[in-house]
Amino acid sequence: MKVSDKPAAEEKPAAVKPKADRSAPTKQRRWPLVVSGVLNVVLLASLVTAMWKPEPVPFDPSKHTQQDIQKAMTVSYGADAASVKGLLGEPAVREVTDGREEWHYCKTGSTVDEYVAISFNDKRVVAVGYYNVSWLDLVFHYVKQPTEQLIDVGGMGDCRLTVRWGTYAQTTPSYPTNPPARLRNVEPATVSGPAR
């Protein structure tokens, strides 16, 4: 055999198409998977937040009426209205019935509101009475069985909302002493009761 001195013409390799790698998704097929994954994460996060029970906000009585009702112990029978106002300040609620006037001072608590009712006749103190209103009094007034959430939260709002109306100077008030609680004016109110 004869070996030629001429170098063999370099053969160009035939253009071979690379096989498509079917295991890796193409860009066109990848975006639905990404969107589906993001939607699953968002749905899972919203499901977790929807099922999460928030802690009840504790009641803060300091933002409500906080009158110093202990000073009422120094109020004596026959004291005039001006000296009572000088000692205790403006009443939370003022009630007027047939010449009698009754001033209610209150201190808001988390589960019990404390009150002092000072009765006047001709601008002179004739009686001083203390009373409490529990939040359970109000809960049972509106529902037969309080829920656990009501019991956890406690607090009933400003003590001005739960003043017991009626003349406490009398042994038997002429009208109900515990009407349904309702929103009343923030300013001291003057209320006229039924004629006796």
Find where tokens 């005039």 sit.
Answer: 80
Task: Please name which of 128, 127, 141, 139 lies closest in space to residue 178, comparing C-alpha atoms.
Answer: 141
Q: How far apart are CA 156 and CA 103, in angstroms?
A: 21
Could you give the maximum distance between any two Cα atoms of the chain, in Å?
147
* pTM of this structure: 0.51
Can you say how many angstroms the Cα of residue 157 is from the centroid of all Cα atoms in its chain? 8
> Going residue by residue through the chain (196 aa), what tens digit of pLDDT does each one get?
555 565 555 666 666 666 655 665 566 778 888 889 999 999 999 998 888 877 766 666 667 778 888 888 899 899 999 999 999 999 988 888 777 888 989 888 777 888 898 999 888 999 898 888 877 666 666 555 656 665 555 556 677 777 776 655 544 444 444 444 444 444 444 555 554 4
Strand order in the sheet with 124-134: 124-134, 112-121, 100-107, 93-97, 190-192
